[in-house]
Amino acid sequence: MSTKPLPLTTELHAYLVAHGSAPDEIVRELAEETRAVLPAEAGMRVAPEQAAFLTFLTRLVGVRQAVEVGTSTGLLSLAIARGLVDGGRLTCFDVSGEHAGVARRYWGRAGVADRIDLRVGPVADALRELPGERYLDFAFLDGDQVGYPVYWDELVPRMRSGAVIAVGGTLRAGRVLAPRDADDRAIAAFNDEVVADARVEAVMLPVADGVTLARVR
């Protein structure tokens, strides 16, 4: 067995997706609509294996209280909501809510709208309004990557012991190795901060554009 990572060719990626939980009609249609309304970002936001992975992970952790930062068209929030335990709640934060109508339409079709609370506005301020105790089981950060350090510092103290934080886009299409702009440099610095944070144990996975998982001690 090789210890080197396999190059993920188009054919191998298709094989990987085909041998996981297949996206249903709702996920497929939402992914298509996301590609239509967000063509520049769709490659990062609609990876089918990432949605399946988040549902699987949410079920595995037994999540009752979850937070998502960066909702957009709602594909990944739909995936998280599907994995919640009975009575579970997902609070979503989005700076603009530009695509909230798309998200709510698909949440309704999937039967998870009653599990999701979407809050629109400055995300850092909204996170500071959350209860201060350690009650969250799961958090997912996506979207505004420059804001990750602020969101991280607001969320970690609110995560119970054993809770999981998942962070999307942490490889920046490989540019973390040679940052080209301020966003690349911000993510590279954030990745260094996470691995040095004694409050968590972290691992980075090559899923979609990179997913970091951190388990809170």
Residue 90 has phi, psi (to 5 degrees) of -120, 120
Paired strand residues for 118: 92
Quick one: tokens of 142?
């996506």
Assigned architecture for domain 10-216:
3-Layer(aba) Sandwich (3.40)
Task: Per-residue pLDDT tens, the chain, 217 aa: give them.
Answer: 556 777 888 898 788 878 887 788 999 899 889 888 887 665 555 577 788 899 999 999 999 999 999 999 999 999 999 999 999 999 999 998 889 999 999 999 999 999 999 999 999 999 999 999 999 999 999 978 899 999 999 999 999 999 999 999 999 989 999 999 999 999 999 999 999 999 999 999 988 889 999 999 9
Which among 210, 215, 209 has a CA at the least distance from the CA of 57?
215
Sheet of 116-120, strands arranged across: 116-120, 89-94, 65-69, 136-141, 159-168, 211-216, 200-205
pTM of the predicted model over 0.85: yes
**What is the spatial distance between Cα 141 and Cα 169, in angstroms, rounded to a whole number?**
9
